[in-house]
Copies of this chain bind each other. A is one copy, B any other.
């Protein structure tokens, strides 16, 4: 029977203890407040200690864990997939919105508002088994490139947030995605990109049906919209515990952060503010995508950390230095 040398153990100890868990964050107030929070809730001698079972952390996806400009990536997938489907059967393009979609004419679709978006998503996301749909998403991620960065979309995850997720898990947190994006879409890459398994991905979902011959298929219509007040509702329903940490970037995340931070005991809300027009995109109050007004106006008074992307992050994308 042999045990690792005590010398080796002691030699490694300082490295383990003092390695920076968030190397892509600058030495900012944001980083320091996040680390202080994690150290507090994981310290068994501290009055604000939280047991591992209650260390639930929830994060929005679009604009919080990966980029969302010029439009939600899932919507670019929807247009690409609709184009593919229309090549086989052009008669499916039954409306101006669908015709605009296959031409990549995002402006026309955005002018059609919510209804036009839903129409494009319905036409491109239904009528297949969940399995076939997810194969299509995986193939798209393998081949599609972002028009401005030329990166694969799943390499446009924010490296500082990927580090934060890992840090939280290393400290006994369970990390969840709670996003307005599609459940079945996100599950395809969440495990590789973020280390988040399918059962910890919550999102908007369409109707599905079970049949013994075809299994689970995506039928028409949206069953649940995981946005705004829907986020706390979905968290309570699915997880059954109030998180102690929530991260978001838009007013669609306001209710989730509000509910999280209103609970008893130690709580942390984190808002990613898109301030970096050079390395990413700068947008907030006036943006049709990721609009952020309430969070900026009320978040600081509720003690939320407002992450200044330009100054607090030394690196943006996982896929680029």
Contact = CB atoms under 8 A, between A and B. Distances in A.
Interface of A: 1, 3, 6, 53, 130, 183, 187, 197-199, 201, 205, 208-212, 215-216, 229, 232-233, 236-241, 255, 258-259, 262
A200 to B, nearest CB: 9
B199 A262 contact: no
Contact of A238 (B130, B199, B212, B258): B199
Contacts of A229: 209-211
Oligomeric state, in copies:
2
Given A3-B3, A53-B197, A197-B53, A210 B238 contact: no
Q: Which 9 A-B pairs have the closest CB atoms?
A: A198-B240, A210-B232, A210-B229, A216-B236, A199-B239, A187-B240, A210-B233, A208-B233, A199-B240
A216 B232 contact: yes
B212 A262 contact: yes
Nearest to A186: B240
Contacts of A239: 198-199
Contacts of A197: 53, 240
B1 A212 contact: no
Nearest to A134: B240
15 contacts: A183-B240, A197-B240, A198-B239, A198-B240, A199-B239, A199-B240, A201-B240, A205-B237, A208-B236, A208-B237, A209-B233, A210-B232, A212-B258, A212-B262, A215-B262
A210 B234 CA distance: 10
Nearest to A236: B216
Contacts of A1: 6
A262 B213 CA distance: 10
A255 B210 contact: yes
A231 to B, nearest CB: 8
Given A210-B255, A216-B236, 11 more contacts: A1-B6, A53-B197, A198-B239, A199-B241, A201-B240, A205-B237, A209-B233, A210-B232, A212-B255, A215-B259, A216-B233
